[in-house]
């Protein structure tokens, strides 16, 4: 494969996908990485160093990652020339090499380019945004019992208001849309039709079913007691409300769920353990107060794209903040790992921020490859560094008697605790 600016490491090999979607992982898999904008320059090298150390310690040179830099965002503009934000060969590489990891990418508010993060997810059809939220002992938290927060978010990653179907106020296009809605669809409720922007929220049965299927399967595989559909279906009946109905329908159709006490909640039997898994739903605003008051009642969460975005940061805050909030974007075959947080531009290039989110995203990636020993070492390193109170600014400012470390020093502290 001839790339213009991507150098394929000679010593590495490609990961391949088998017909049952399992992976064949060579001893030196080539992993594409996007450095990321803003703090990407700080956290990405630290992530690579910690991962390399964990792999070396676990497998003593028998395995190793062949990192391959691919470009997106501001760095792509530097490498490929102005106004190249997501080069075609970057898309090709992350698709063909199957498993990749990325730093955060900037999206301007209002005008300017649309989100490159969303574009990557949509174009690769990475329809699951998987964001586990767990507590590490000793992490400063604003809640009294942070250890009770242990949830895994399945955020729909390909539809909803995130599809980017919108028209700006005052344009001929929005006038056409408003005219269509008023004249052909009989819509009378646009309060200020002359000065409205309009956005469209597609939510499908197919998209809902494939997400909820993954969430229930995760609950089965990980012996979790419940799966909750979080929605705003009382207001947005045919999108969020339909998501709830289609979610229950999928649980019945494919997992044999039965209504519990006449419904709407259901229960299904975990085929691996025989235990019951409750399938329930909650309206999103109520959910946001209950996760603070009774977090232990929630476990696996399936929700639409925008709700999932808000819930990710809110839940991350309960267990210490988005400095240690990892994630993965998944299709049935391709996987791209990334932190929950963004580019935190005010800290860019200062070697200051917490690299924990990206490192824990890499921990998920190692587990995805089946390299559990190396993944376990990363968790051990994180637990050890936090327990020793050797932490970055975000934790240090909330911890008594902590030692303030830079981003790179925190990576070294983790390696020291493996």
Ligand X SMILES: NC(=O)C1=CN([C@@H]2O[C@H](COP(=O)(O)OP(=O)(O)OC[C@H]3O[C@@H](n4cnc5c(N)ncnc54)[C@H](OP(=O)(O)O)[C@@H]3O)[C@@H](O)[C@H]2O)C=CC1
Binding site for ligand AKG (CB under 6 A): 107, 115, 117-118, 309, 312, 340, 342
Does residue 411 bind ligand X (CB under 6 A)? no
Q: Is 75 labelled as part of a ligand binding site?
A: no
Structure tokens at 257: 């769920």
**Alpha carbons 391 and 413: distance in angstroms, whole number:** 9
Active-site residues: which are they? 162, 232, 285, 309
Which position has the token pair 């969460």?
301
How many CB atoms are located within 10 Å of the residue 202 CB?
A: 13
Does residue 338 bind Mg ion (CB under 5 A)? no
Instruction: Residue 394: name its binding partner from ligand X, ligand AKG, Mg ion, none (Cβ under 5 to 8 Å by kind).
Output: ligand X
Binds ligand X by CB under 6 A, chosen from 44, 100, 117, 390: 117
Nearest distance in Å: CB 361, ligand AKG = 12
Q: Do residues 260 and 251 touch, judged by C-beta distance below 8 A?
A: no
Nearest distance in Å: CB 400, Mg ion = 30
Stretch near ligand X under the rule CB under 6 A, chosen from 6-14, 130-138, 177-185, 337-345: 337-345
Q: Is 347 labelled as part of a ligand binding site?
A: yes
Q: Is 135 labelled as part of a ligand binding site?
A: no
**Alpha carbons 208 and 46: distance in angstroms, whole number:** 36
As a whole number of angstroms, the longest Cα–Cα distance in the chain is 70
Q: Is 208 labelled as part of a ligand binding site?
A: no
Binds ligand X by CB under 6 A, chosen from 213, 307, 341, 361: 341
Site for ligand X in 86-115 (CB under 6 A): 104-107
Does residue 131 bind ligand X (CB under 6 A)? no
**Alpha carbons 300 and 214: distance in angstroms, whole number:** 10
Does residue 74 bind ligand X (CB under 6 A)? no
Q: Is 343 labelled as part of a ligand binding site?
A: yes
C-alpha neighbours within 13 Å on the C-beta side of residue 58: 25
Binds ligand X by CB under 6 A, chosen from 394, 413, 415, 418: 394
Task: Reduce the secondary structure of 246-297 to three states and give it as a string.
Answer: HHHHHHHHHHCCEECCCCCCEEEECCCCCCEEEEEEEEHHHHHHHHHHCHHH
Does residue 309 bind Mg ion (CB under 5 A)? yes
Binding site for Mg ion (CB under 5 A): 309
């Amino acid at each position: 494969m001839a790339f213009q600016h991507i150098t394929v490491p000679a010593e590495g090999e490609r990961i391949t996908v088998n017909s049952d979607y399992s992976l064949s992982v060579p001893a030196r898999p080539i992993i594409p990485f996007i450095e990321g904008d803003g703090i990407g320059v700080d956290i990405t090298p630290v992530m690579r160093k910690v991962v390399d150390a964990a792999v070396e310690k676990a497998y003593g040179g028998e395995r190793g990652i062949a990192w391959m830099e691919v470009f997106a965002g501001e760095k792509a503009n530097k490498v490929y020339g102005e106004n190249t934000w997501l080069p075609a060969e970057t898309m090709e590489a992350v698709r063909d090499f199957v498993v990749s990891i990325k730093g955060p990418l900037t999206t301007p508010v209002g005008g300017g380019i649309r989100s490159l993060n969303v574009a990557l997810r949509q174009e690769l059809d990475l329809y699951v945004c998987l964001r586990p939220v767990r507590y590490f002992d000793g992490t400063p938290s604003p809640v009294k019992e942070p250890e009770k927060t242990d949830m895994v978010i399945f955020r729909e990653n390909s539809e909803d208001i995130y599809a980017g179907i919108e028209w700006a106020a005052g344009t001929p296009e929005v006038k056409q849309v408003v005219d269509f809605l008023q004249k052909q669809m009989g819509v009378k409720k646009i309060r200020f039709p002359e000065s409205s922007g309009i956005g469209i929220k597609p939510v499908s049965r197919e998209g809902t079913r494939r997400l909820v299927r993954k969430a229930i399967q995760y609950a089965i595989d990980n012996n979790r007691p419940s799966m909750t559909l979080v929605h705003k279906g009382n207001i947005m009946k045919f999108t969020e409300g339909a998501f709830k109905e289609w979610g229950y329908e999928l649980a019945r159709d494919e997992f044999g769920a039965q209504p519990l006490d006449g419904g709407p909640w259901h229960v299904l039997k975990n085929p691996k353990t025989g235990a019951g898994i409750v399938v329930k739903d909650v309206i999103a605003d109520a959910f946001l107060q209950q996760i603070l008051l009774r977090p232990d009642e929630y476990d696996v969460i399936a929700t639409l794209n925008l709700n999932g975005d808000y819930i990710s940061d809110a839940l991350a805050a309960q267990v210490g903040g988005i400095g240690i909030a990892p994630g993965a974007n998944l299709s049935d075959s391709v996987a791209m790992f990334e932190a929950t947080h963004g580019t935190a531009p005010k800290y860019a290039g200062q070697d200051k921020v917490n690299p924990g989110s990206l490192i824990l995203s890499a921990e998920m990636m190692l587990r995805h490859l089946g390299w559990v020993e190396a993944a376990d070492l990363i968790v051990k390193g994180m637990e050890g560094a936090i327990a020793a109170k050797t932490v970055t600014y975000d934790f240090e400012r909330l911890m008594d008697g902590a030692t303030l470390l830079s981003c790179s020093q925190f990576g070294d502290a983790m390696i020291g605790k493996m």
